[in-house]
Amino acid sequence: AQGGMVILTTHQPLPGAADTVRRLALTGGEAGL
């Protein structure tokens, strides 16, 4: 989960995309990616 959050904070391509990544991080994080 930390890895996903780091990537989220490092670079955000689009607001919508960031929200999607946020959900992925909350659900599985690395598993989602």
Residues 6+ apart with CB under 8 A from 4: 21, 24, 25, 29, 30, 32, 33
C-alpha Rg value of the chain to the nearest Å = 8
Residue 1 or residue 17, greater confidence: 17
CB half-sphere exposure, 31, CA atoms < 13 A = 5
Decide which of 9 and 17 is more confident.
17
| Interval 16-33: pLDDT, tens | 777 887 787 777 656 545
Per-residue pLDDT, 21: 78
Indicate the pLDDT class of residue 9, thresholds 50, 70 and 90: low
What integer pLDDT is reported at residue 32 of this predicted model? 47
Name 19's Cβ contacts closer than 8 Å, sequence gap at least 6: none
Please state the rounded mean pLDDT for residues 3-21: 65
The phi and psi torsions of 31 (rounded to 5 degrees) equal -65, -40
Whole-model pTM?
0.33
